[in-house]
């Protein structure tokens, strides 16, 4: 599933290509794509027509496009396979095209393509600039409002495994399985380490690792393990080549040479170095 760097790459593309443009028409080709917009496809299309996109915003793994005319936005979650593509209007429809926005200037469409239909888009109100359905989500570590000291205090109070805490979007948003493993490797922490045992300096080191690995991923367009994650131009990221532990089972740790291990975790996998990241007793 796309994590913060992948979603931020898409946001930057949207900011470049759709900001300031007026929507001429919205077409819903699959109702599941707007399943959280209760009034349905016709009302969805009618409310979008004639409204301009003011900007492109993100919190964690969510994207939204604030709209002119009311305190509303078009909110998107890409799910496992969702793509927001900027495509010339005369291009043939993609196989899994779900929603298409056309613009008054006759320029490129904005198309929501989703093979597995786990993603969704919806129209929603804003509360202090943030879409109401995601107001409960914590700021991500790149937002100015993210408070490192507050995060450290809340983290130590959780009494849970550190990797579980990193994936808790009510504590810190945008971090998923891949970048959690990478940040834990940087900080030399095993994901099973209990949060209450972490010192504040160690938490600061972990946060620095989170920011470092996601900043590096951003510079390389994100991580693409298959053709499902792409930016708005349909291009894949290549940060996969820079991963230190995730997906590198039995390959040598670049720091100490020990073979990377894979362990089951919440119906997924965790990757770590047995020597650099010793499992707590």
Which one from 11, 47, 59, 61 is the annotated catalytic residue?
A: 61
Which one from 2, 5, 108, 141 is the annotated catalytic residue?
A: 2
- E strands, the chain, are 23-28, 57-59, 62-67, 72-77, 82-87, 97-103, 109-114, 120-127, 130-131, 261-265, 268-272
Which one from 3, 6, 57, 161 is the annotated catalytic residue?
A: 3
- Between CA 7 and CA 96, with CA 226 as vertex, the angle to 5 degrees is 75
Which one from 95, 241, 268, 281 is the annotated catalytic residue?
A: 268
CA distances from 250 to 219, 240, 259, 263, 272 (A): 27, 16, 5, 12, 10
Pairing relationship of beta strands 268-272 and 261-265 according to DSSP bridges:
antiparallel
In the residue annotation, 278 being an active-site residue is answered as no
In the residue annotation, 95 being an active-site residue is answered as no
In the residue annotation, 61 being an active-site residue is answered as yes
Question: CA 30: distance to chain centroid?
Answer: 23
User: Quick one: DSSP state of residue 64?
Assistant: E
DSSP letter string over 177-218? HHHHHHHHHHTT--TTSBGGG--HHHHHHHHHHHHHHHHHHH
In the residue annotation, 268 being an active-site residue is answered as yes
Which residues are known to be catalytic?
Answer: 2-3, 61, 268
């Amino acid at each position: 599933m796309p994590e913060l760097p992948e979603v931020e790459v898409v946001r930057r593309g949207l900011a470049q290509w759709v900001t300031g443009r007026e929507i001429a028409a919205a077409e819903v080709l699959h109702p599941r794509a707007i399943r959280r917009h209760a009034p349905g496809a016709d009302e969805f299309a009618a409310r979008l027509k004639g409204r301009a996109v003011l900007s492109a915003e993100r919190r964690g793994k969510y994207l939204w496009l604030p709209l002119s005319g009311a305190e509303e936005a078009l909110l998107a979650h890409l799910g496992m396979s969702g793509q927001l593509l900027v495509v010339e209007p005369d291009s043939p429809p993609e196989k899994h095209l779900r929603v298409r926005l056309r613009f008054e200037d006759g320029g490129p469409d904005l198309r929501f393509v989703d093979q597995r239909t786990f993603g969704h888009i919806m129209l929603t109100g804003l509360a202090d600039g943030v879409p109401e359905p995601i107001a409960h989500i914590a700021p991500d570590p790149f937002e100015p409002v993210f408070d490192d000291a507050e995060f450290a205090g809340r983290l130590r109070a959780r009494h849970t495994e550190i990797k579980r805490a990193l994936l808790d979007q009510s504590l810190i948003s945008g971090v998923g399985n891949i970048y959690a493993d990478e940040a834990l490797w940087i900080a030399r922490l095993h994901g099973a380490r209990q949060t209450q045992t972490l010192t504040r300096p160690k938490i600061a080191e972990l946060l620095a690792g989170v920011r470092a690995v996601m900043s590096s991923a951003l510079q390389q367009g994100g991580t693409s393990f298959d053709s499902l994650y792409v930016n708005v131009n349909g291009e894949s990221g290549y940060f996969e080549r820079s991963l230190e532990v995730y997906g590198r089972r039995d390959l040598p740790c670049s720091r100490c040479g020990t073979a990377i291990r894979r362990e089951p975790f919440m119906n997924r996998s965790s990757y770590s170095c047995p020597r650099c990241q010793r499992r707590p007793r």
